[in-house]
Chain A
């Protein structure tokens, strides 16, 4: 399953037939692996990797370090799940280090994010502090460099 997942992570549009050829498996087997991964919540979805900065409708992202008060018997899970439910939240992680949660928020502009932090995130009971850092420029997303590095200058025929 690992190899199939790696290929889909690399290219979510890769057809089962191509995955089968690349890995030396039967197509039926690949389809069964994908179905099982989908059913068990391993494959969560198939989304495109978009470089929004290259479009006219650039989005704004902010990394927000959240200091929170853990709940008895639940730790940080309840508050983290609460935060994660907002549509504005792109991703959310429990962290080691100085802050407890790292929340990545997506908005149309800076004010959008400021409003979300002031009106939604900070007032949540249990949220002690927030520290918002806006993304100014993106160099790499999900393992892919925006400035791609290719082997250049190869001769057309070599021994």
Chain B
């Protein structure tokens, strides 16, 4: 029991040992500062398309304010199944193989609790989204990080995955296009991971929340690879592609027994995802392709401008081909990611998240989102250039 615990309470070892998110730590520094240009936001800067909002307003007028099935609205599951079949040729039974979750975040938690036994190991290529590792841990499992490096454009190498597999390894969690690096994986590269999964009898949880934000080429949906649908849990949602972060709607598709196990947990912890968000998600899939494509086009243009700009000011940046993040190297400055982020924030009021918030191998990098206006991106490049000049001239007080 911790000493500062209120009377009668004790904090569980699980919660006590859960490391605080590196994002949270940085957020605490930024909060309260004025005139900050934030490149630290992991969500679209667009408002949800009006058609979606309008459909939800209409549903409220019609009194649609109830719980839904634990699985989620059947109409939404049918729309998801149609969408996945049309885009990637993967087929799921809406009645039994899809569950609507409160974002991928809840889906990941429920999935790990449904799949893992105490001590089971799960391979997680890093850097990765902040919740993968804690979700494995909270389910009693042991996450095994596999570092990726800029020399391979932050793509996991099959031999590194192989080397991390042990007798307790049950599966792997992958997320491409990737947050924080913006890395994507080609069909052939994913096929190499699929082969490992097949040979070593592993499950694969594939977080494809950034699938639509794939530039220069087609996104490969992991379960579309030969033999992979039966051993993959596909996760996706509406937050990024349709600018619906606050609506909290995600989904998981997989084998019936896995979805059934997930629904049993989800039913006790969430009951159902919010109905308003589900109605909005139906509208998104049925009628918002144009709005989504317009947003994607804008991200792509910002991506080109911003990555080009980072390279020009002397922060080497590989060409991220997915999501809405650039992951420039700051190693040449001699500062750690944390020192650089803090100094940049204090000196020039630009907030970019230290790469280490997403895994130790993110050291030497910053995560900068380009989900902000072109004007903000241009101004942030100007400020970052000024910061680098001051740093080179020894005019920056570097935090310890």
Are A159 and B23 in contact (CB-based, < 8 A)?
A: yes
Range of interface residues on A (Cβ < 8 Å) = 10 to 19
Contact A157–B27 (Cβ < 8 Å): yes
Task: In the complex, identify which listed stretch (B33-41, B84-92, B166-174) lies at the interface while the others stay far away.
Answer: B33-41
Complex interface bits, A140-159 against B, C-beta within 8 A gives 1, otherwise 0:
00000000011110111111
The reply to whether the CB of B140 lies closer than 8 angstroms to some CB of chain A is no
Looking at the assembled complex, report how far the CB atom of B28 sits from the nearest CB atom of chain A, in whole angstroms.
Answer: 9
Query: Once the chains bind, are A149 and B30 in contact (CB under 8 Å)?
Result: no
Q: How many B residues face the partner with a CB closer than 8 A?
A: 31
Cross-chain contact B23 with A21 (CB below 8 angstroms): no
Query: Interface readout for B36-55 with A: 1 if CB under 8 Å, 0 if not?
Result: 10101111111110100000
* A interface footprint on B295-334 (CB within 8 Å = 1, 0 otherwise): 0010001101100100000000000000000000000000
Could you tell me the distance between the alpha carbons of A23 and B300 in the complex, rounded to whole angstroms? 8
Inter-chain contact B40/A157, CB cutoff 8 Å: yes
Interface flags, A117-131, vs B, CB<8A=1, else 0? 000000000000000
| Chain A, interface SS category | loop
| Residues of A contacting B392 in the complex (Cβ-Cβ under 8 angstroms) | none
On chain A, the residues within 8 Å of B41 by CB distance are 154-158
Smallest beta-carbon distance B320→chain A, Å: 14
Residue A108 interfacial (CB < 8 Å): no
Interface centre among A152, A155, A156, A158 (most CB of B within 10 A): A156
A23 adjacent to B301 (CB under 8 Å): yes
* Min C-beta distance of B382 to chain A, whole Å: 15
Nearest residue (CB) in A for B306 is A21
A157-B301 contact in complex given A21-B308, A149-B50, C-beta closer than 8 Å: no
User: B243 interface residue, CB < 8 Å from A?
Assistant: yes
In the complex the two chains form, is A156's CB within 8 Å of B31's CB?
Answer: yes
> What are 26 of the A-B contact pairs (CB < 8 Å)?
A18-B305, A22-B305, A23-B301, A149-B50, A151-B44, A151-B46, A151-B47, A151-B48, A151-B243, A152-B47, A154-B38, A155-B27, A155-B41, A156-B38, A156-B41, A157-B23, A157-B27, A157-B30, A157-B38, A157-B41, A157-B353, A158-B23, A158-B27, A158-B41, A159-B21, A159-B129
- Residues in A lying within 8 Å of B, measured CB to CB: 3, 7, 18, 21-24, 149-152, 154-159
